[in-house]
Amino acid sequence: NLGGGFKRLDYELPYQGSLRETHDGVDLTAAAHLKMSDLTQAELTVSHQSTYLDYWNQALLSRQTQELETDLKLNAEALGSFLNRVSVDVGEKHATSDFSIPAANGYDLVWAGVQGYFQQGESLNLTAKLQAQAGNGLDLPLKLFPALNLMWRVFGNSQLNLYWAANRNLDGFQETYGETGHTSPQEGFPSPVEVTGEWGGRFTQKLTESVLLSLSGSRAQIRGYHQWSDINGADPVFLQQYSTLGQVQITRAGANLQWNFMKDWQVAATYQWTQGLDQSGDGKNLTALPVNKGIVSFYRGDEKWETRLEFQLASDRNAYESLPGTLPGYFTVGLDATYH
């Protein structure tokens, strides 16, 4: 399979003398699938992202980045009644740019992981994963990241999921800067984000044949947490920077109710409460993180068409990480349709 895409964001900065800011992104992907047997298969994916930015930070600047990622997955199924599935994943990411030092102008990251799916009867299963990562150019020492996910069907209509995981992620430059306007990417590539430990769970109850209720909660300890914050100072103003907090704790609790009230139709309501704490000792705020968020959606889907109308309401949130001030709550309406 081959794919590609092009996207452009075009902004005018009226508060910076009507300067123009453009973000161009080119995506190329190739994927190959090999079925070695009825139970074993392999998949190779290669993607390349090019990003071109013209932006303002006390002067007109231009930068470009290249991100190449290769990932190979091997899957074996129906191995036995206890160890049911095993998958192996190896990959590499190589990034370059025309940023100048001290900005992070490039890096290499490699990873290898194995995942096993263990099953005990029809009501109990465990997914265990272990991944090794190492790299250079950024703070990417060799580390192991385990994860566990337990699923238990308590009764016929109830299900409990519990998980614990550690992980390290690298935000892509194009997803970070190419899709966000009024930014200044002077730091270069984003630094790694490490989840040193996250635990959580979800309880799902089938109330009737057409109504499903789920309750969830999680808490994560995050090292190198990223967030958007307006650059302070008189010049430039109203430009965002992608800042980093040393240690953050994120706690979430939520509820979801789904009602399939007639054939091909569904209405769903979701509520999420979020608390973010900066544990770095620097007294900074977590920005763009509403405490309360609710979503109501109406969905219709059949073999050819899928349509969703969504209403989203969020409470106010901090505007600056180092200054007082909040952004007001917001309300959005979204409509999307897909034809198969």
Question: Per 3-state DSSP, what percentage of the chain is helix, strand, and coil (rounded to 5)?
Answer: 5, 70, 25
Residue 20 confidence (pLDDT)? 82
- For the record, the structure tokens of 166 come out as 């550690």
Query: Residue 128 burial (CB < 10 Å; 0-12/13-18/19+)?
Result: middle
pLDDT tens-digit profile of 173-216? 999 988 887 888 888 999 999 999 999 999 999 999 999 999 99
Is-contact 132 110, C-beta < 8 A? no
Q: How far is CA 94 from the centre of its chain?
A: 20
> Considering the chain, what percentage of its residues have pLDDT values greater than 70?
96
pLDDT tens-digit profile of 284-325? 999 989 999 999 999 999 989 999 999 999 999 988 888 888
pTM over 0.95? The answer is: no
- For the record, the structure tokens of 92 come out as 């590499």
- Provide φ and ψ at 190, rounded to 5°: -60, 145
